[in-house]
Amino acid sequence: MASSAPVSAQDAASKQNFAIIQPGATEADIIRKAANVVSSPRQLRWQQLELTAFFHVGVNTFTNREWGTGKEDPAIFNPTQLDARQWVRVAKEAGIKQVILTAKHHDGFCLWPTATTEHSVKNSPWKNGNGDVVQDVAEACREYGIGFGVYLSPWDMNSLVYGSDAYNDLFVEQLTELLTKYGRVDEVWFDGANGEGPNGKKQVYDFDRWYRHIRKLQPAATIAIMGPDVRWVGTETGYGRETEWSVVPADNLDQTATAANSQQAVAFKPTGDMRGEVLGSREQIRNAKGLVWYPAETDVSIRPGWFYHPAEDDKVKSPEKLLDIYYSSVGRNGVLLLNIPPDTRGLIHESDVKALQGWTKLRHDTFSKNFAEGAKVKASGKYKKAMLDGKYETHFTTKSERDTTATIELKLKGEHTFDVLMLQENISVGQRIEKFVLEYWQEGQWQKAAEGTTVGYKRLLRFEPVTASKVRLRIESSRLNPTISEIGLYKNALEGAAYSANERE
């Protein structure tokens, strides 16, 4: 008996992570197209990581600054006990699945012995100039079985060719080194800063060329932020949007690349304001010329700054704050990118380790028991059991595409107290749900526990604790037949955490 709704081979082949809207398309056509845009395989892999980390380290660690000048003496980079295995182990123990190292920040200092400049670890006393932080981190990631990514700042305050075509060539050489010498690279992270170089000139970045180069050398890597695969959530607070669509308008889709029908091609360049309150509502896609799957990454630092500063040792975010951030990033259809900056010893500081351990315990204590497990499911649709089979790839859906609402009733195994709802849509089919309500049965009637708008890859909602043996999820609005891959009910390990924080600014 089939207990799942697999995506048929034909469906899978015809589904893409973009759609072109022809002039004259009706609103209904556009909504249907939006509901059928899906994540690319590399985007799906990335989304399923849920937790990723940044390691910001470099000359700023030693000058106690957030941004350097490009004039630093490489000799100041001199960690006494640098141990990348400790960084990766600490991250892995916190449930982090991929890390991104600042191979070069805006100051231009390279953490690997590059042939492109003298401004690198090869001219620092650390390991007598024979050290390579990129290699150390890449190897530790392989050893611990987690993903590895690089941050390479386009802005370079040190390079004398910055502001000329030669800089674009130099940047390609730096990418070549990073993407060919260290094994598999899973993410390349470009931020948007574009300041002046040493000669006062600004650079016109040749992003198209860089993207093509990355696709050629590491086709599975996601290109984030100033890149086509992953979007900045619009704030550095760790708080995503309550309504977060992964399908957003893109009016600059390259029609030629798209016509070639190749997922390898980079068919669009990110533009537009990423800070808006909602980015992919019906109103926003109504006049779009194209649509793309462009999911949100939520970056935040565990400390006030991105780099290590001793004065911030007692300002590390608490386990409770990190839990709130977890609900508001991973729980809002995003991937969390949590920065954990190594200190001047070259170690993750004890304060950060302690906070991460506390956070991990809170998540474990909350999510290890799903009160929906083993429930009897009543729903007007197909593959009801798929919602509780622990497999993301299988999902419940309604009987036909026209059924854009659904009621899913769960008779729990006994009475339980819970205050967290977890929902997942199958994003290999598309993101569709627009409005849902969770109700529980008490005193002979249905009472509202929580309500929400979008779901996407994962939605976590907190509410005042309720005690019940019967709940129902009503999907009130969806762009096409909705899917639910998994459903969960949990009791928050943190008392009094039943609030929905909104601290985007």
Residues in contact with ligand FUL by CB under 6 A are 66, 191, 193, 299, 306
Nearest-angstrom CA–CA distance, 387 and 397: 10
Shortest distance (Å) from residue 190 CB to ligand FUL = 10
Choice between 306 and 440, CB closer to ligand FUL: 306
Choice between 68 and 228, CB closer to ligand FUL: 68
Nearest-angstrom CA–CA distance, 478 and 475: 7
Residue 391 in tokens? 């497999």
Choice between 15 and 309, CB closer to ligand FUL: 309
Shortest distance (Å) from residue 306 CB to ligand FUL = 4
Question: Strands 483-484, 459-478: parallel, antiparallel or unpaired by DSSP?
Answer: unpaired
Choice between 190 and 383, CB closer to ligand FUL: 190
In the bound state, the residue with its beta carbon closest to ligand FUL is: 191
Q: Which phi and psi (to 5°) does residue 137 adopt?
A: -70, -45
Residue 480 contacts residue 404 (beta carbons within 8 Å): yes
Residue 432 contacts residue 480 (beta carbons within 8 Å): yes
- Strand (E) or helix (H) holding 231: strand 231-232
Nearest-angstrom CA–CA distance, 169 and 205: 10
Residue 473 contacts residue 487 (beta carbons within 8 Å): yes
User: CA distances (Å), 209 to each of 168, 214, 216, 448, in order?
Assistant: 9, 9, 11, 52
Nearest-angstrom CA–CA distance, 313 and 302: 11
Choice between 48 and 235, CB closer to ligand FUL: 235
DSSP letter assigned to residue 414:
E
DSSP H helical ranges for 94-206: 133-144, 165-180
Longest dimension (CA), the chain: 75
Shortest distance (Å) from residue 303 CB to ligand FUL = 12
Choice between 66 and 169, CB closer to ligand FUL: 66
Choice between 299 and 352, CB closer to ligand FUL: 299
Shortest distance (Å) from residue 356 CB to ligand FUL = 19
Residue 360 in tokens? 């991990």
Query: What residues contact 26, with CB distance under 8 A and at least 6 apart?
Result: none
In the chain, the amino acid numbered 130 is: N
Shortest distance (Å) from residue 152 CB to ligand FUL = 11
Shortest distance (Å) from residue 149 CB to ligand FUL = 13
- Strand (E) or helix (H) holding 440: strand 433-442
Shortest distance (Å) from residue 32 CB to ligand FUL = 37
Choice between 12 and 193, CB closer to ligand FUL: 193
In the chain, the amino acid numbered 423 is: L
Shortest distance (Å) from residue 228 CB to ligand FUL = 18
Choice between 242 and 299, CB closer to ligand FUL: 299
Nearest-angstrom CA–CA distance, 356 and 365: 14
Shortest distance (Å) from residue 191 CB to ligand FUL = 4
Shortest distance (Å) from residue 418 CB to ligand FUL = 36
Choice between 104 and 479, CB closer to ligand FUL: 104
Choice between 235 and 407, CB closer to ligand FUL: 235
Q: Which phi and psi (to 5°) does residue 357 adopt?
A: -65, -40
Q: Which of 172, 189, 143 is nearest to 46 (CA)?
A: 189
Nearest-angstrom CA–CA distance, 432 and 429: 9
Shortest distance (Å) from residue 301 CB to ligand FUL = 8
Shortest distance (Å) from residue 153 CB to ligand FUL = 7
Q: Report the half-sphere exposure of 440 (CA within 13 A, side-chain side).
A: 20
Choice between 2 and 193, CB closer to ligand FUL: 193
Whole-angstrom Cα Rg for the chain: 24
DSSP letter assigned to residue 371:
T
